[in-house]
Amino acid sequence: MSLITVPCGACGGRQFQLKYPGTIHNPDDEPAPYYSSSRTRAGHLDIVRCLDCGLLMTNPRDDDETIRGVYGALRDEAHEDEDDGRAPTVRALLSLVEAHRPAPGRLLDVGCATGVFVAMAAESGWTVTGVETSTWALGRASQRCRQATFIQGSVEDLQFREASFDVVTMWNVLEHVASPTEILARLRPWLAPEGRLFLSLPNAGSTTARLMGRRWVLLLREHLWYFEPATLSRVLRQSGFEMISTRPSAVTFSIRHALARAAQHRGIAGQLASRMSGLPLMSRLRIRFRIGEMQVVARRSPAE
């Protein structure tokens, strides 16, 4: 395990300005407790802004081998606990997809987690392939949806024929990958010429992010990149895509889950949230709110 300094993921620049100083007391701590919804520690490393293009990013960050190992061994029970209540959010994602490319069709879901979206898409008539690095999550996904195809690994490990899919989805994935441009460029040929790419990810330019500043809940060690529409558009262009649209998105959580997230932070507020999260009523009540995420639709650029 080590921390590495990397160039800007949008323009390759190497001149940065510190935006949010790291909140992790000892950056050499074991990183796994800071990852996923089941994290037992909350915090982030230094977050800097590229002086050439404005992209916010974690720098230095955990090395690629460490990140790969963390995700491969990840068990995210807190995420799974919310699966039953995630239907409205997942249904909205599928509606977004089908507004641009109605079923039936071939869909690749990169970072499929426990397969909630995969299952709903398959029920809607899609032929679905789900990709996931976590052995635990992939097992849950294959149990949930028998008719889908599941592959363990990351995009770098995959081989598909050109134009294998009509749709590629990456829900809350791109902010975690080592190189956004390399990942997007690799999957581009797998998408049919008239196909669509769908993303959801944190928006550093959102009203929520601007108002919360250094207290923005999505400033996390596991998030390597903090895009805004302009910087994401640049990454998409460099990777052979054109942005079609972007819009803010909301999430639905049980109050118990929201309190559990708050309890990961130190202080009196965290202690109070920890006590309240154990109340039975908190798992039954659900709230929908915006935490500063966006949904993006893109297409393959016509030029090779």
Q: Is the pLDDT of residue 272 over 60?
A: no
261: confidence class by pLDDT, cuts 50, 70, 90 = low
Q: CB of 168 within 8 A of CB of 198? A: yes
Question: Which CATH number do you get for residue 201?
Answer: 3.40.50.150
Name residue, tokens 């050109």.
162
Lowest mean pLDDT among 128-132, 161-165, 178-182, 251-255: 251-255
Q: Is the pLDDT of residue 54 over 70?
A: yes
Per residue in 93-122, pLDDT (tens digit) is 999 999 999 989 999 999 999 999 999 999
Name residue, tokens 């500043």.
213
Share of the chain above pLDDT 70, in %: 84
273: confidence class by pLDDT, cuts 50, 70, 90 = very low
| Burial status of residue 195 (CB atoms within 10 A of its CB: 0-12, 13-18, 19 or more) | buried
Per residue in 59-81, pLDDT (tens digit) is 999 999 999 999 999 998 866 66
Distance CA 256, CA 277 (A): 5
Half-sphere exposure of 44 (CA within 13 A, CB side): 22
Per residue in 287-297, pLDDT (tens digit) is 666 889 999 99
Strand ranges inside the chain, DSSP E: 3-4, 16-20, 47-50, 56-58, 61-62, 106-110, 127-132, 149-152, 165-171, 191-202, 225-226, 241-254, 286-300
201: nearest Cα among 167, 166, 237, 177: 177
pLDDT value for 264: 58
pLDDT value for 191: 97
Number of structural domains the chain divides into = 1
Note down the domain range covering 70.
3-300
pLDDT value for 203: 98
User: Looking at the DSSP assignment, which residues form a beta bridge with residue 239?
Assistant: none
9: nearest Cα among 155, 133, 175: 175
Per residue in 199-242, pLDDT (tens digit) is 999 999 999 999 999 999 999 999 999 999 999 999 999 999 99
26: nearest Cα among 48, 1, 49: 1
